[in-house]
Amino acid sequence: MTSGSAGARPALHALTSLRFFAAFAVVVLHYRELLGPLPEGVRQVIVGGQFGVTFFFVLSGFILTYRYREWFADGVSDARFWWFQRFRLARIYPVYLLGLLLDTPWHLLERASVGQLGEVAQTYWASWLLNAVALQAWVPAVPFAMFWNTPAWSVAAEFFFYATFPWLCAALCRSARSWAWTVAAMLFAVVLGAVLYAVVIHAMNYVWHVDTTTQYLVITYNPLLRYSEFLAGCLAGHGFLLARNAGAGAVLHLRTAGRRHLLLGVCLLVVVVRVMVPGYSGPSAALWLLDVSTKYAVFILPFVGLIFAVASGPTCLSPVLEHRWLVLLGEASYSLYIVHWFVVTVLSMKLLGAWGTPFVHAMALLATVVFSMACYRLVEAPWRRRLRGHWIQDPEKDPPGAVAMPKITRPAPL
């Protein structure tokens, strides 16, 4: 089995477009206080944008498995492991660093304006370095997390996912030989993730009495707690390939457009209903624990179903999702997700004075989308090519650093 076989799979352009909607939902979430008074129902929908990150984690696992499964089907070698890490670093770090650099001056200015910069300068710079190496998600304390480019915490989680993916993928190829096994494993991953959340939340509230900020950072940011979302995506990608390679469309029941539309509609309905239902606040402690521990878990299977429906064939959404402009927005969605925060920071500092109206803020939001496409064209795509270099046909026989490294078709970028 050659390493290059992964590159022969067709690109799933509709899934690329869906990334834009998930990223845009997160961006609007962060703009919500800048858009003026909003109806409660609208605010509830906007707050639901936080689950766009869950969609990213699930989709990341799905696409990585779809693209790279053959790399690790026969095991994990040092050469292939490091080529994979190089590819992922080239994919996300240039824009990640750009976002941090864009955001840094404004935070320094803000701290200096209130006289805090001199007092805690060492702490701020230590936290900046921690963010620069994408480890902030592991430290549940401000200013190490939730300070600089706040949304970039999810990239820190992704780096952890990437580090484990080769062994996870190899294990799936060894063990998950049937569709039924894969579905059972996915359900187990979702339940296990919720149980782990319940244990941690119970301990923080009733054993250690942890403060609310630390609780939020642990529950939202910790890569181990969010791992079930990525794992479910990997299992979904593996199951998708098993079914497709075996011609098991009958197993998926998605060969007809009607069935794909039914799955699509059910999954979207579940997502909308869960977003609109307010969280449980009491009086039962057990029901509250169940609600908060399944906050992200309840979205995993609907997102998997949505991905399956779109990836399995044409739907009523295909003409829109496969339009070249929406695909471009999807390709630029990572840049949008990373660079929008510095605009939010600037606007929140009220530097525009009387010009800082909800309308101007909304225009700034749309301008950020345009800016993200420029970042994709001028930073993300060219630096990805530079950092990836030339891929080799067989990393086992022609290790990195060899004199002759012929170009061949490489796996399409996520």
Q: What is the pLDDT of residues 302-318, one digit of tens each?
A: 999 999 999 988 999 99
What's the rounded Cα separation, in Å, for the pair 169 and 74?
10
What's the rounded Cα separation, in Å, for the pair 345 and 126?
21
Q: Which residue has the higher pLDDT, 268 or 411?
A: 268
In which band, very low, low, confident or very high, does the pLDDT at 405 lie, cut at 50, 70 and 90? very low
In which band, very low, low, confident or very high, does the pLDDT at 394 lie, cut at 50, 70 and 90? very low
In which band, very low, low, confident or very high, does the pLDDT at 281 lie, cut at 50, 70 and 90? confident
pLDDT score, position 247: 62
What's the rounded Cα separation, in Å, for the pair 134 and 161?
12
Q: Judge whether residue 102 has pLDDT over 90.
A: yes
329 alpha carbon, distance to own chain's centre: 16
CB 345 within 8 A of CB 106: yes
Segment 18-46, tens digit of pLDDT: 999 999 999 999 999 999 899 999 999 99
Segment 210-240, tens digit of pLDDT: 999 999 999 999 999 999 999 999 999 999 9
Q: Judge whether residue 5 has pLDDT over 70.
A: no
Q: How many C-beta neighbours within 10 Å does residue 398 have?
A: 15
pLDDT score, position 347: 94
pLDDT score, position 121: 75
In which band, very low, low, confident or very high, does the pLDDT at 134 lie, cut at 50, 70 and 90? very high
What's the rounded Cα separation, in Å, for the pair 120 and 216?
23
Percent above pLDDT 90 for the chain:
74
In which band, very low, low, confident or very high, does the pLDDT at 358 lie, cut at 50, 70 and 90? very high
Q: Judge whether residue 403 has pLDDT over 70.
A: no
pLDDT score, position 212: 94
Over residues 288-295, mean pLDDT: 96
Cα angle: 252, vertex 230, 170; to 5 degrees: 80
What's the rounded Cα separation, in Å, for the pair 48 and 62?
22
In which band, very low, low, confident or very high, does the pLDDT at 2 lie, cut at 50, 70 and 90? very low
Among 414, 329, 370, CA closest to 92:
414
**Distance (Å) of CA 210 to CA 20, 40, 145, 201, 220:** 36, 30, 16, 10, 15
pLDDT score, position 390: 65
In which band, very low, low, confident or very high, does the pLDDT at 122 lie, cut at 50, 70 and 90? confident
| Spatial CB neighbours of 371, under 8 Å, sequence gap ≥ 6 | 339, 343
pLDDT score, position 160: 98
What's the rounded Cα separation, in Å, for the pair 50 and 36?
19
On average, the pLDDT of the chain sits at 88
Q: Judge whether residue 359 has pLDDT over 80.
A: yes
